[in-house]
A = this chain, B = another copy of it.
């Protein structure tokens, strides 16, 4: 137990609960510790740029610093907080850091964090309407708010899941339910009349589509990745040809996944054309707008969801670019009855009768239990307001275009994809190894964290903006570091 206890209990107030108390932490102790944490977090929020963005921990460092066994006796909150700072914080990669430019940069904004604190304290489990009417109805209302801001028609019913992986999984499960008669009861195996099934997405679609196809028992080979054009958008004519070829070979098209804001380059698949193809062939259309969907509320960007009204399902992630702490994924479906048909199943111990029809959220998905997640979306949207949200998303896009302009004007770097939203794909003049070395050197510096992808076989750097603390100065600093490091590596 020697690794336990970076700090010893320092006063009678901080002693662990005695054996005769069999309840929870005393409310007054809770109050005191919550105030300590409030101060700690506020301090952290105002000094995040003092930490290295990317953790410098080496594999095994954290594990080695923690005992192998749970303590036999309870410990003080002070001891835990001290260990948190001493042992865990060096192992944290700071997604809150203004220099976080990797993957999709995100923000767990203040109002969202406060709402999540409240949600943890309420600890409601919103499986049934009656197990928390507020959680069920606030989910409906806030998803309505978001739907209207995105100009999606009210034929879309919404439900909150944890991740886009789960949202896309449900979209494709519903598609399977429609395409394969009696799949709920009879499944897919050993059936004579169930032919080979097909799902289509662009070669740039997210890996969650692959995982969903595998999980649903369709088989990875059922996923046909359609080639993209020079700007990384799915080629609609290639999609149509693939569908026709499969139909001729007696395979059954189940769904098309169109992406609004692909992960590598944030490209936007031609939704209106894809929707027309899906309508013509009666194929379920799922739209993965997990990252970029929210941009549709910014004037001039409405076009990105054009055609989405004809989709069957759509996912957008407030935990990506709507300032909501992870996890909160919004799934919209024009045919939520199909999702219910696929999954609703009420054992006796969960049967309830209410005074009027209600939605029991457990019926719209694979997970029975669910947190009160709507609370954070509600607080985030009210704190910033629609105008504040639009302004922030627009600002992130302005910063990305600014950075792209610097790249474009440089003779040491080149841009390799259009800047559609808040992500810039670029590379330094030099081979893949040079670019990889450049990225590693910059990330090791601790001031910024960028990630990479691979496009047309080449190693490509990505700068993603999405953190509310990121200002023009931080983007300028990233640019300056890139140039300096380029020169150093060339000189070295």
Contact = CB atoms under 8 A, between A and B. Distances in A.
A131 interface: yes
Nearest to A17: B388
Interface string A346-367: 1111100011111000000011
Contacts of A46: 27-28
A445 interface: no
Contacts of A145: 68-70
B132 A357 contact: no
B93 A132 contact: yes
Contacts of A35: 35, 38
Contacts of A366: 165-166, 169, 211-212, 215
B385 A207 contact: no
Interface stretch (A107-115, A231-239, A412-420, A482-490): A107-115
Nearest to A205: B347
Interface hub of A96, A189, A194 (most chain B Cβ within 10 A): A189
A381 to B, nearest CB: 5
Interface in A133-151: 133-135, 137-138, 140-141, 144-146, 148-149
Counting contact residues on chain A (CB < 8 A from B), the size range is 35 or more
Given A327-B371, A347-B263, A114 B215 contact: no
Contacts of A462: 349
B60 A325 contact: no
B124 A120 contact: no
A343 interface: yes
A72 interface: yes
A189 B194 contact: yes
A310 interface: no
A296 to B, nearest CB: 14
Given A114-B34, A162-B162, A357-B59, A195 B190 contact: yes
A381 B215 contact: no
B326 A123 contact: yes
Contacts of A103: 125, 131, 349-350
B134 A348 contact: no
B211 A132 contact: no
* Highest count of chain B CB atoms <10 Å: which of A87, A381, A383: A383
A129 interface: yes
Contacts of A70: 145-146, 148-149, 381-382, 385-386
A214 B108 contact: no
Contacts of A16: 383, 385, 388
Nearest to A381: B70
A214 B16 CA distance: 47
B381 A326 contact: no
A416 B185 CA distance: 33
Contacts of A72: 385-387
Nearest to A79: B382
B216 A215 contact: yes
Interface stretch (A218-226, A271-279, A298-306): A218-226
A368 B208 CA distance: 7
Nearest to A208: B368
B388 A73 contact: yes
A313 interface: no
Contact of A391 (B19, B149, B222): B19
Interface stretch (A240-248, A280-288, A400-408, A446-454): A446-454
A110 B69 contact: no
8 contacts: A24-B110, A27-B43, A70-B146, A72-B387, A74-B383, A79-B382, A165-B369, A187-B220
Given A37-B114, A106-B123, 5 more contacts: A34-B34, A92-B124, A95-B124, A116-B116, A187-B197
